[in-house]
Structure 1
Amino acid sequence: MSLIPKKGTVYVVDDDEAVRDSLQWLLEGKDYRVKCFDSAEAFLVRFDPREVACLIVDIRMEGMSGLDLQDRLLERKSPLPVVFITGHGDVPMAVTTMKKGAVDFIEKPFQEDALVALVERMLAQAQQAFEQYQEQMSRDALISRLTSREAQVLQRIVAGRLNKQIADDLGISIKTVEAHRANIMEKLGANTVADLLKIALGAQHPKS
């Protein structure tokens, strides 16, 4: 039996122990793995970006605030979905967080059903982001197998240039271009030019 529930991990960052305990009890009861932290600083030390997870964080805390933590995660280009816990007077501040990419905010006292539904949505988003990240890593690994000359040929194939034009560009024969092209197709596991373009363009333009 796996020790990690299949639903994913929920990070809870709040300096109020009662809120942490309440969220942990609620979410573990719904089969989520919950990791609680009493400060943003403690969370940043332990956060594993390779985990399919989401973050529930209080907007106001001693030390680093939830807003500051969001900025740190943005600097790291973290795809971690974030939802903020807010007090009654914090709604304008919470709107600012959403403009920076937060998924949502919830006001205290929060409704359990609404929170669980939000966590479900965030973890689905996290799973999708993680899969895209994995695909990107696979593409990059394939592209890295090409020689510098093969990479030059691929760049021109993607630009829509014909074998003769590529040969002229690089000062090589058409047969050499064809040989490079065959090697590229084999190394990237592409059966068609369309496959080749999908791999190459995916590697050059990672999804946001």
Structure 2
Amino acid sequence: MPFLPSYLKDFPFNKNPIDLPTRWNTSDSNDNLQVIGDKELKVLYIGPGQNDADAASIRANHSIPSEVGLYYFEVSIVDAGESGYIGIGFGVHSAFLWKLPGWEPNTFGYHGDDGKKFRSSSSKGHNYGPPFTTWDTIGCGINFFNKTAFYTKNGICLGEAFNEITLSDYYPMIGLRTRSECIEVNFGETPFVFNIEEYAKIIFKDVERRRMII
């Protein structure tokens, strides 16, 4: 059976088998990153880390199918490294991997050094949430029903970050830029810090109610 996170097991609208992200794709990664461990969930920055040209990203092994309606994953900051230039988000498969998520077209990212959110541009960041650093856990969620994305920090929802999420082939992504930065992802094989189960119940119940009205 394909892997299915707990918050999707009672998903009422689609029971067809789907492939969801389960690990980082070592073949879809910038050379400045090293994937650590047998489960391929931890990523370490090993590049020179001198400037933005040294940024590096990696994508998950599967895209996020929009038919799930709601998707969520969390990234724990194992080490913020020298400067904490860490980006967490999602993007299309065609995006280059030498920039942080949010700096490339059709990528979205929340960055740890300044707490800004970026969408398809390295020069148009907007204030969003608090900065994050070592030991913080950042969650990223996409609501395909209303085409929005949100983030959480240490179990607290930070609110809507992006709207008009129109494409359907997004991959979870992270990006690192300075030496010793290290993260570990949770795609749902272990409990999340944020209570995504309750959040999902509210979303799915509201969607089901709207469909019954229609």
> TM-score surpassing 0.5?
no
TM-score using structure 1 length: 0.31
**Higher helix share goes to which structure?**
1
CA radius of gyration, larger in = 1
The structure showing larger relative contact order (alpha-carbon pairs under 8 Å, at least 6 residues apart) is 2
What TM-score, normalized by structure 2, do the two folds share? 0.31
